[in-house]
């Protein structure tokens, strides 16, 4: 699965916080390792077994908490590029949408 990668360390991002910066986890954000964790720092999004550099942010008309990016990704020995939409919902949950998949 392309979205999932072993996180060996947090990738450095810009010093300025981005609107989605944080650690999001479907189960427990304090657990040392979780395959449900997504970490966003600056222009980097890190999954369990992959990471992506987010480029070309574009606002989504009518959705104030959503931004569309190009995600340049690497994981499981492969590189790929895909459109990725990040948005937050009420309560602060992160929603990530890709081509044919979506996760909270």
Q: Is residue 41 part of a domain?
A: yes
Mean pLDDT, the chain, rounded, equals 79
Residue 24 per-residue DSSP state: E
pLDDT at 50 over 70: yes
Q: Which domain holds residue 97?
A: 22-103
Q: Is residue 73 part of a domain?
A: yes
Rounded Cα–Cα distance for residues 34 and 86 (Å) = 20
> Which pTM does this prediction carry?
0.73
What percent of the chain stands above pLDDT 70?
75
Confidence of residue 5 (pLDDT cuts 50, 70, 90): very low
Query: Which residues, listed in sequence order, are joined to residue 59 by a DSSP beta bridge?
Result: 67
The residue-averaged pLDDT of 76-81 equals: 95
Pick from 100, 77, 74: nearest CA to 85: 100
Q: Is residue 9 part of a domain?
A: no
């Amino acid at each position: 699965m392309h979205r999932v990668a072993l996180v060996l360390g947090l990738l450095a991002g810009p010093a300025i916080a981005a609107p989605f910066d944080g650690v999001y986890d479907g189960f427990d954000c304090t657990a040392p390792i979780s395959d449900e964790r997504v970490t966003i720092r600056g222009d980097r999004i890190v999954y369990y077994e992959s990471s992506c550099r987010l480029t070309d942010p574009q606002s989504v008309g009518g959705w104030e908490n959503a931004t569309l990016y190009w995600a340049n990704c690497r994981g499981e020995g492969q590189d790929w590029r895909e459109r990725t939409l990040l948005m937050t919902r009420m309560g602060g949950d992160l929603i990530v949408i890709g081509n044919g998949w979506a996760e909270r």
